[in-house]
Amino acid sequence: MNIRTITKFCFALFILLFCLTGRIVAQSVIAETTLPCAPGPNRNTYYGFAGSTMIATNPVTHRVYVPLQCDSLRLAEINAAGNLERTIDLNVGHGETLGITVDTQHNRVYVAVNADGDRLVVVDLNSNSIQNFRYPTEVDGFPFYASGPLAVNPVTNRVYSVTNEWPPGSISVFNANDNTWQVIQLPIQNLIDLAIDSSQNKLYVTAQGIVSLGQLVVIDLSTNAVDRRIDFPNDFQPNYAIAFNSRTNELYFPGITEGHPSILTLDLANNTLNNIRIPDGGPNATQHSAIAVNPNTGRVYTFVDTQIVPGSWDLTTLNIMTNTITNKPMEKPLFNYGWSAGFAIDAETNRLYFQDDHRTLTVDPGSSGIISPENPVVQADDATLSFNNVTSPGTVSVAPISDPATAGEVPGGFAISDLFAYEITKDATLQFNGTVTTCFNIPTVNDETEFNSLAVLHRELNEVTGQYELIDRTSSRTFSTRAICATTASFSPFYLVRKNNKVKSLFAKSKAYKSGSTAPIKVQLLNENDQNISSPGTILTIRGLRLIGGNTTSSVIDSGDANADGNFRYDSSLQGYIFNLSTKGLAAGQYVLSFYVGSDRAFLYTVKFEVK
């Protein structure tokens, strides 16, 4: 019986036992890619941290890369649809793969291998050229071993690799500008995994403790010195994998707390730790050494072996904006728990890629279970959807919108939530008549009066004007459960707004400003009774500038330093605020300027203007 026959048999058994246990599985695996061979076990298996080292993505080109241990070491390239495009011979012969990382700026893949010695293979995908460079063989007389986990800083063009010289541990640095090596020696043993902050040029390394449960080591790469060391809490047994969120300046670690899987978060601004237990993760559940974050959606992902049946697992999602965790039983089994090659994320498409022996699973983390006449109520991400009349089964996908300012200018000038905005789409097979009620959980609003001022806006096409508009489709609010619902007949973006204070534009929005000129953005702040409450004591802080329909934001520049602190300036003659916005360098189109009022960062306001 070959491996594929065994896999099919196990999958059938997996589905049968899931049905018997009554668990509703999510239809989240949208592609399954068969590979000619597998990454294979390696020396990282001994340390138990192979989970984050055997698959990598390029969110610019939407390609996935997996190093393979075939008759010769190769690199598999998978496209966004989950199709295997090619395998690339690394030209080093047979050996073992140790780690992989992708330089998205230069479109290079770096693979650490052990093939007649430890080497770093550089695959330049622009020129399709391959080079390999031997790691240093020893440092100060001690053997030098490349353990595998890699991280690259595309700004400085340097690649960092955890090594385990004994004693103590060290970090190898490959300078891709001149193909030279450097070694950072640390007075710390058992270095495990690493992550990098390219903008601050900081390296974060997890270290397995001998006396304690381990610690995080922060290295300032401008000096190669240890910046700080932070011990893990005594009640948290880390798995030593690590993920860095560049938007929030936070780190995330999977682990075990009192026998239960959990996720530890670290706010690097103030060294605050928060240990969040994963629900339904019983004492038999196993937390794996892999974790990833999508800074665009504010979601952290890991996975748990539920041990209900062989290969059963849950996708675990942490919403960092609410600190809530959900588990989603998955329909495709994962079998290689002993040395699972982990997973990677494409933050632009919000797709996860799980490596499991000879196959790669492409996962939509926001996908629901099958919606049918028998099962008309499903959950996807933080939304619960109830269908009135399903005529053809299918699924929906719920994806957080990275920038709620894409809503544009909100009717009434109300504030938009900076935390809750969703794009909901259905697959091609799902058909329904009538309405769908979509409920969102809003755990961050704990004042009932404020909660009752919330509304859900839905983007819909106005058949008369031919323009898309935001329509209030709020159908219910339940403060006790923090649930707010909207009833619609279609899907598209949903935005949460707060209907109390609002902004009123005082400038000619119908006017198109010539690129390079100054757009005087003038507004007043009104209360719910339309009374002007603008004052010098209430600061309007610029949040961002976005071209409507574009995927990028622009810098907000005031003309002639008219707004010295970069924020709106209160004008007593206007009894409101003004910001002289420079349109220099802005392409023609409609723009949304977003800003905060006072110290509130949970909701934002927007105004729209046009550049010609």
Q: In this predicted model, what pLDDT tens digit does every residue of 457-485 receive, in sequence order?
A: 999 988 888 888 999 999 999 999 999 99
Higher pLDDT, 584 or 146: 584
Residues 58 and 93 in one domain: yes
Which runs of E-coded beta strand occur in 198-249?
A: 202-207, 215-220, 225-231, 236-238, 243-245
Percent residues over pLDDT 90 in the chain? 62
CATH code: domain of residue 523:
2.60.40
Which of 2-16, 155-169, 435-449 is predicted least confidently? 2-16
Residues 176 and 195 in one domain: yes
Residues 90 and 206 in one domain: yes
Looking at residue 168, its pLDDT comes to: 63
Evaluate if residue 125 carries a pLDDT over 90.
yes
Evaluate if residue 293 carries a pLDDT over 90.
yes
Evaluate if residue 8 carries a pLDDT over 60.
no
Domain containing 573: what range? 506-611
- Nearest 5 degrees, angle CA 517-CA 522-CA 526? 160
Residues 131 and 221 in one domain: yes
Answer yes or no: are the C-beta atoms of 457 and 470 closer than 8 Å: yes
Express each pLDDT in 314-328 by its tens digit: 899 999 988 989 888
Residues 338 and 268 in one domain: yes
Residue 555: pLDDT band with limits 50, 70, 90: low
In a domain? residue 144 = yes
Residues 340 and 397 in one domain: no
Express each pLDDT in 424-446 by its tens digit: 999 999 999 999 999 999 998 99
Looking at residue 25, its pLDDT comes to: 60
Looking at residue 413, its pLDDT comes to: 86
Looking at residue 212, its pLDDT comes to: 63
Q: H or E element: which one contains 418? A: strand 414-426
Residue 131: pLDDT band with limits 50, 70, 90: very high
Higher pLDDT, 400 or 28: 400
Q: Which of 447, 473, 500 is the last residue of a domain?
A: 500
Q: What are phi and psi of 334, to 5 degrees?
A: -120, 125
Looking at residue 169, its pLDDT comes to: 76
CATH code: domain of residue 141:
2.130.10.10
Looking at residue 229, its pLDDT comes to: 92
Q: Which of 482, 500, 518 is the last residue of a domain?
A: 500
In a domain? residue 573 = yes
Side-chain half-sphere exposure of 568, counting CA atoms within 13 A: 33
Higher pLDDT, 120 or 562: 120
Q: Is 12 helix (H, G, I), strand (E, B) or coil?
A: helix
Residues 187 and 255 in one domain: yes
Averaged pLDDT score across all residues of the chain:
86
In a domain? residue 5 = no
Q: Which of 306, 330, 363 is the last residue of a domain?
A: 363
Looking at residue 166, its pLDDT comes to: 54
Rounded mean pLDDT, 129-153: 81
CA distance to 40, 404, 530, per residue, from 579 (Å): 58, 21, 22
Looking at residue 7, its pLDDT comes to: 45
Question: How far, in Å, CA of 494 to CA of 442, rounded?
Answer: 14
Q: What is the pTM of this model?
A: 0.86
Q: What are phi and psi of 593, to 5 degrees?
A: -100, 125
Length in residues, the chain: 612
Number of domain units in the chain: 3
In a domain? residue 89 = yes
Residues 306 and 388 in one domain: no
In a domain? residue 99 = yes
In a domain? residue 299 = yes
Higher pLDDT, 259 or 45: 259
Answer yes or no: are the C-beta atoms of 169 and 186 closer than 8 Å: yes
Residues 487 and 520 in one domain: no
Q: How many CB atoms lie within 10 A of CB 197?
A: 19
State the amino acid at position 500 in one-letter form.
N
In a domain? residue 6 = no
The residues, any chain, with a CB within 8 Å of residue 598's CB and separated by 6 or more, are 538, 539
Residues 495 and 510 in one domain: no
In a domain? residue 408 = yes
Residues 180 and 311 in one domain: yes
Evaluate if residue 143 carries a pLDDT over 80.
no
Looking at residue 276, its pLDDT comes to: 94
Residues 129 and 38 in one domain: yes
Retrieve residue 14's tokens: 């997996």
